[in-house]
Structures are given as C-alpha cells and as structure tokens.
C-alpha cells in the first residue's frame, strides 16, 4: 500500500503522424531509452485504434486514456489500478478547452511553437500527477498575468 497513489503518470500530446508535441511525466524517473520505448508503444497502440472504439487501452501497468482533437491526440497514462477512466477523459477535455481558451482556437502548431506556454498551463492544472485546479479561468489567470508582466 506504500505505492504512490498519484493519479496521472504522464500526459502526452501526439500528432497523427505519431510525433510527440508535448510530454510531461509525473513522479517516476524514466531514462531516455525507457521513455522512448514507452512513448513508441503507447502512441502505436492508441493511434492504430479506429474512431468508434472506446478511449481506453491497457498497457503494461498503465491505463491509457486518450482522445483525439483534430490532428492531435491527447493521451494520459494513469496507474493501472486507478479506476475512474471517465474522469480522466473529462480532465483531458478540460485541458483542451483551457488550451483553446488561451491560444484562441488552439492547433497543433500553437502547442509546438509555444511548448513552454503549454507546459506552464499544464503546471497550473496538474502537480505531481494530481489535479490542482479544474476551472479554466482560475488556471489561466496567473498565466495571463505573468504574460502581461513579461511583455511589459
């Protein structure tokens, strides 16, 4: 029972071609090799699934919850013993809406060219794999404020 109960193990944003656009891991330290192998498998497994299948894939000790928005797949890995996949799906949607609100009609290129911004937004939503804030405005308030300060 000493195992960490952290909800989210990783967040990946991947395009249709399987290229990673954002990757954030929580809690576990993975070497580059392990990470690459994991990402390759995860991406392959999720991308090959057709649209009308469910959004969950069991992979090693992870459960993958993914959702596709236009050309971008959002994949969240949670501990295999975690059991509210629907809430993770809701979290993904919340994350995408937040990004959309920030970037105004977010697209793959927005995230790619502003990867640090995307990370900052994610930081306000998730810490150490746990949800910190679910409300879009609350998430974006500090980010927008800091943007303003940075530009000034």
Footprint of another protein (CB under 8 A): 1-5, 20, 22-24, 26-27, 29, 31-32, 35-36, 39, 52-61, 80-81, 83-87, 89-91, 93-94, 112-113, 115-116, 119-120, 123, 127-128, 130-135, 137-138, 142, 146, 149-150
If residue 53 lies in a helix (H) or strand (E), which one and from where to where?
Answer: none
* Number of residues written out for the chain: 152
> What's the closest the beta carbon of residue 23 comes to another protein, in angstroms?
5
Residues sharing a CB contact under 8 Å with residue 38, sequence separation 6 or more, in sequence order: 30, 60
Q: Which is nearer to another protein, 37 or 70 (CB)?
A: 37
Q: Looking at beta carbons only, is 70 or 93 nearer to another protein?
A: 93
Beginning with the edge strand found earlier in the chain, give each strand of the sheet holding 8-15 in spatial order: 20-25, 8-15, 72-79, 62-69, 56-59
Q: In angstroms, what is the minimal distance from the CB of 99 to another protein?
A: 15
| Strand 8-15 versus strand 126-127 pairing type | unpaired
Shortest Å distance, C-beta 111 to another protein: 11
Task: Compute the least distance from the CB of residue 104 to another protein, in Å.
Answer: 19
Non-local (6+) Cβ contacts of 108 within 8 A are 15, 21, 70, 71, 72
Q: 10 Å Cβ neighbour count for 148? A: 9
Q: Nearer Cβ to another protein, position 3 or 104? A: 3
Nearer residue to another protein within complex by CB, 59 or 101: 59
């Amino acid at each position: 029972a000493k195992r960490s109960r952290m909800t989210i193990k990783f967040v990946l944003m991947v395009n249709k071609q399987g290229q990673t656009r954002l990757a954030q891991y929580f809690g576990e330290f993975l070497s580059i090799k392990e990470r690459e192998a994991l990402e390759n498998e995860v991406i392959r497994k999720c991308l090959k699934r057709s649209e009308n299948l469910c959004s969950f894939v069991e992979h090693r000790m992870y459960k993958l919850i993914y959702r596709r928005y236009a050309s971008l797949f959002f994949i969240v890995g949670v501990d295999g013993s975690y059991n509210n996949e629907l809430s993770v799906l809701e979290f993904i949607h919340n994350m995408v809406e937040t990004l959309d609100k920030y970037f105004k009609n977010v697209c793959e290129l927005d995230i790619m060219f502003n990867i640090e911004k995307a990370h900052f937004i994610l930081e306000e939503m998730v810490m150490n794999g746990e949800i910190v804030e679910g409300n879009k405005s609350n998430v974006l308030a500090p980010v927008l404020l800091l943007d303003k300060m940075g530009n000034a």
